[in-house]
Amino acid sequence: MGRPARLGHFRRGRGAPTESAADAATRQLTEAAGAVVSLRVKALRNARSAATLGTERTGSGVVIAPSGLVLTIGYLVLEADQVEVTDAKGRTVPATVAAYDHATGFGLVRPFAPLAPKPIRLGASRSVESGDRVLVATTGEGGLSVATVVARRPFAGYWEYLIEGALFTAPPRLDHSGAALINKDGELVGIGSLLVMDALKPGERFPGNMFVPVELLEPILAEMIATGRQKAGRRPWLGVNAMEDDGRLRVLRVTEESPADEAGLRPGDVILGLGAVPVKDLGAFYRALWDAGSPGVEVLLRVLQEGEVRLIRVKSMDRLDFLRRKPTI
């Protein structure tokens, strides 16, 4: 867990600021932290994501609009049945999921009644560099803490997920889900996603957190609000969880009833290639898959299975079509 933040001492650069500048900076950071809310989510009883995420989920979010719209990490609200939002003053209101985007990992939640917090400003996360001091704000036990950005690089997740410019911070926070990453100007630059063991460099043990940069949100925010997703986020999905293992992609888990499961992929299989493209890392695999066409396209996997190289055809689908939705009245 990070150490408690002393907002009056959270600054960059040399030299002590004037008292008025310090007071202004403290007010900015206090207002920004006040925009953080807590989320309590109950997933559908038959949610497909329950096996990995459970049905009772808690985390944080950040108010980003005067309407009370809350930005959070999307896995908290997958297949949600009930959502509650609690602001810093302790007011709890029911909410609905306004949008989810698998490509970025962002989720949007809309409370049914206004919330007290003033919306946070969205910052330029592309300007965040290694060595920058940042504030991590949650509604969990840790509250506020100061962290250091230790890396900024692409991140490939085992669940068919790839983003550019992910922000990695240390020390790690355990209550990272939906946490706000705030720069020295009181602006939101990232949303908390994961606890990772190699924050500094891939393959090198150095615990920290991964944050999704808000620069990925700005180009798609209006579309997400209007349609509940972004059109460009519709990609072929197989339902394979894989890891990089000594220059190979080894299947860790296959989602039950997913296209990969129906096609016969199994845990322990090694994915050697997709079509004519050899794949040795997650990034290459995902790019080849997404370049194959739209959801529904059939792809040919070259797989090492039970000691034999086999060709397995998998008909992909849109992941959102696989997930279950709350029935509408």
- Domains belonging to the chain, first-starting first, are 33-118+223-231 (2.40.10.10), 121-215 (2.40.10.10), 234-322 (2.30.42.10)
- For 65, the enclosing helix (H) or strand (E) is none
Q: Which are the contacts of 98, defined by CB distance < 8 A and separation ≥ 6?
A: 69, 108, 109, 110, 224, 225, 228
Under 8 Å between Cβ of 312 and 301: yes
**DSSP-based three-state secondary structure for 223:** helix
How many angstroms from the chain centroid is the CA of residue 59?
A: 12
**DSSP-based three-state secondary structure for 32:** helix
User: For residue 289, what are the β-bridge partners?
Assistant: none
Spell out the per-residue pLDDT of the chain, length 329, in tens: 444 555 554 554 555 555 566 677 777 888 888 999 999 999 999 999 999 999 999 999 999 999 999 999 999 999 999 999 999 888 999 999 999 999 999 999 999 998 877 999 999 999 999 999 999 999 866 689 999 999 999 999 999 999 999 999 999 999 999 999 999 999 999 999 999 999 999 989 999 999 999 999 999 999 999 999 999 889 999 999 999 998 899 999 999 999 999 999 999 999 999 999 999 999 999 999 999 999 999 999 999 999 999 999 999 999 999 999 887 65
* Beta-sheet pairing, 187-196 with 208-213: antiparallel
